[in-house]
Chains A and B, each alone.
Chain A
Amino acid sequence: MTLEDDLRTQSRVPLIAASLAALSLLVACSGTTSPDETTGGGADDVELRMTIWSANPDHVAKFETLGEEFAEQSPTVSSVTIESFNLADLDTLFTTQIAAGDPPDVSWLPVESSLQYISAGALVDLRGTIDATPDFDYDDFIPSLLERWVDGDAVYGIPFSTGPLIMYYNKDLYAEAGVKNPEELMAEGSWTWEAFRETSAQLSDALGVPGYVLNDFDFQNWTRLLPYMEAYGASPWDEDAATCTMTSPEMVEAMSIFHGMTFDDGSMPIPGQQADFWGGQAAATSAFLGSSANLGDVDFEWGIAPTPGGPAGDVVATGQASIVALAAGNHTPEAAEFVVFLASKDAMAEYSGYFPPIRESVLTPEILVQNSDVLTEDLVQPLIDGIKTNGHVFPVAENNSAVADALNAALDEYLYQPNIDVAEALANVCVEVDPLLG
């Protein structure tokens, strides 16, 4: 063999080896990657994954700690991972991950989605696990606030957070504008949307910042309009979610206030405009109790109040979210156990400062404030009273993704526009939404 040949052979060998390696790697990767390894009997090696839509470090840390506690006491679970996602991506996240065979085992689920997930059989019935847990005390939960998650004997989710949107406001901005703040309006006994609309407009005129902004709204999430709706006794559909009621006189009145504040008074941001209350760019916002975690970082003096009342009285517009175990998960028995663990008295007491429970034994001012740097018993007492006596979770449609998508799109197209007739716009909204209900 000549030197030339020799060199060629030598340089070819590693190349061939490399390409063979690449090929075998490809074969290996496209080969058997079956996801469903069944749970090894008794081995302490099950890794659970839980998804939550809060990225707040305090919230994540709380659930991580509880996950560790659960993993320690469980004979089969070795670890629990907590992952955050954006609530708007909920359906996208679940459908992709379920289709890929790798869904989260446990997750938060908003009440809007309850019926859809339950009727699709996507949630694990927790009844057996609850009954097998001696000190769970199921009767401790307020039954009327559980109803969206119960079907006969079956229990598909445990509400961990049931609470109203509450008003957070920036005392400094009100003082600077020389306008009565919500606390002062409440003291006067005139804490209504009409009065709040007026003070918000005055504040915006004086300071050039929005008087009010809906938290997490972005003109894409109709549920953030609930404080308006509930104060006027309005709902997008009837109790059975069978007929659109966006055209009711109450709804027209409620939405007229919202529309007027946004497009006539300029006291709320218009579509596309950003205003961050927590950054001091708006005088007030309505958000859930969990958002109080943001108050630790703000550099203004703040207050909280219920959202304003209206003709329907002081009804508390209640949102709700549950912890559920997904039926498509790979470790459903352990997932159900983890859900029930998180719903136990001790665990709920841990996070109830952020997420008001409907477990009466832990729905007390002392427990709600124990882990919070910002809340006081006086601040949360009205909240608790509201949940216990006036709490009302809005009716839920079975095909929620389609209904919510149509409602949000139609509101955006017809109502979130300047210079429109509100009643006419809402009639158009019903034309879009009605065919999907019932």
Chain B
Amino acid sequence: MSAGTHSRLAPRRGGRDAGRNTFGLLLLAPQTLGLLVVGLVAVGGVVQLSLTNVNVLAGTREFVGLENYLRIVSDPDMSTILSNTFFFVVVLSVVGTVVALALAVLLNQRLPGINIFRAAIFIPALVTTVAWTLVWRFILQPEGLLDGIVGLVGLGPYPWLRGGWLSLAVFALIQMTKNVGINVMIFLAALQAVPQDLIDAARVDGAGRWVRFRHVVLPQISAAILMVFMLMISGSFKVFELVLLLTNGGPGIQTSVLAFEIYRQAFRLNDIGYAAALAVFLFALVLLLTGIVWQVRRKLVFHESA
């Protein structure tokens, strides 16, 4: 191509950029519009619903102001439901992140056959939650596999799914084993991106294994840790299928969580207004918690100086 063509093209570049931008925006348009329609409009609709008393069967809807929100405060079931919800949030985010990190460190080694272990950890993340849960239901049924295993050491049988902390712990285990694979993969990628020369330099300076991990590796992967932690927080608020399939929130409401209560109020008890208020409440909780973590990140995350 001659220099002439270049100079001939130069003045047109501005126009072409504008055209490119329009084209880019056009490409983005369906996605953005979809997000707006599905996201904002739906959220607005839920907020609006939460201020009304809806009877779907009768086809009526009356404005009741903040009554549904006041009900959340006075609902005696809420203390159990919220403590269960926060149990999952704390356990799944803290323990889930630590376990995923520990597994990632273990799997971040060059050993023959390591990929088999990596795959074994990752495969549950590919299975749908419903299938995963149904397998666990089989394992946990009375006189089932798990009872058989603990029976070998002279324990049990335990009422795994009959409420109390035992059931919550079992739920946390099921949910964690399901999702840990994804987090391990995120951590593995972060670990492998840590520059080897930093580690080597620390080793030359006489840093031991733990000090190298704590002061070199950990700061380097802190952004990944933060991301996993935040994903786990918002994800653990949404524990639902487990509750629906394994206990229906029961006995009573002993194993119910906020996401399940929303479903129960809306579709079992036909109280859509209250369910909408609960959904807005859940949204606010998730927003608040992730907001707090996001603010704290500056102190904890190595690359975040702004």
Contact = CB atoms under 8 A, between A and B. Distances in A.
A438 interface: no
A418 B158 CA distance: 12
B283 interface: no
A98 interface: yes
26 contacts: A2-B5, A19-B27, A23-B29, A91-B270, A92-B267, A98-B59, A116-B57, A117-B57, A120-B58, A121-B57, A121-B58, A220-B248, A271-B162, A272-B137, A272-B141, A274-B141, A401-B270, A409-B251, A409-B252, A409-B253, A413-B250, A413-B252, A414-B251, A414-B252, A416-B251, A417-B251
Contacts of A98: 56-57, 59
Interface string B56-76: 111100000000000000000
A401 B55 contact: no
A62 interface: no
Interface centre among A16, A99, A409, A417 (most CB of B within 10 A): A409
Nearest 8 CB-CB pairs, A to B? A413-B252, A120-B57, A120-B58, A413-B251, A92-B267, A412-B251, A122-B57, A95-B56
Interface residues of A, number: 41
Residue among B23, B254, B267 with max Cβ neighbours from chain A (10 Å): B267
B161 to A, nearest CB: 6
Nearest to B141: A272
For chain B, give the interface size range.
Answer: 35 or more
A402 B269 contact: yes
A381 B55 CA distance: 44
B142 interface: yes
Contact of A417 (B162, B253, B269, B270): B162
Nearest to B246: A272
Contacts of B23: 12, 15-16
Of B249, B250, B264, most buried by chain A (CB within 10 Å of CB) is: B250
A413 B58 contact: no
A433 interface: no
B303 to A, nearest CB: 36
Interface in A294-325: none
Given A120-B57, A120-B58, A30 B37 contact: yes
A328 B270 CA distance: 16
A22 B33 CA distance: 12
Contact of A95 (B1, B29, B57, B143): B57
A14 to B, nearest CB: 13
Interface string B258-302: 000000101111101000000000000000000000000000000
B248 A405 contact: no
A2 B8 CA distance: 11
Nearest to A220: B248
Contacts of A405: 264, 268-269
B161 A272 contact: yes
A412 B252 contact: yes
Nearest to B140: A272
Given A23-B30, A26-B34, A273-B143, A413 B270 contact: no
A402 B265 CA distance: 9
A187 to B, nearest CB: 35
A30 B38 CA distance: 10
Interface of B: 1, 5, 23, 26-27, 29-30, 33-34, 37, 55-59, 137, 140-143, 159-163, 248-254, 264, 266-270, 272
A26 B251 contact: no
Contacts of B137: 272
Contacts of A121: 57-59
Interface in A276-309: none
A94 interface: yes
A270 interface: yes
Interface in A90-140: 91-92, 94-96, 98-99, 116-117, 120-122
A92 B262 CA distance: 13
A335 interface: no
Contact of B268 (A12, A92, A99, A117): A92
A99 B1 CA distance: 64
A412 B142 CA distance: 16
A22 B30 contact: yes
Contacts of B264: 405
Contacts of A117: 57
Contact of A270 (B1, B26, B142): B142
Task: From B140, B251, B269, name the one whose CB has the most chain A CB atoms within 10 angstroms.
Answer: B251
A270 B158 CA distance: 12
A16 B23 CA distance: 7
A153 to B, nearest CB: 21
Contact of A410 (B140, B160, B252): B252
A19 B26 contact: yes
B267 A91 contact: yes
B83 to A, nearest CB: 16
B81 to A, nearest CB: 13
Nearest to B8: A2
Contacts of A122: 57-58
B272 A95 contact: yes
Given A19-B27, A26-B34, A220-B248, A328 B59 contact: yes
Contacts of B253: 409
A398 B34 CA distance: 42
B142 A23 contact: no
B238 to A, nearest CB: 19
Contacts of B37: 30
Contacts of B57: 94-95, 98, 116-117, 120-122
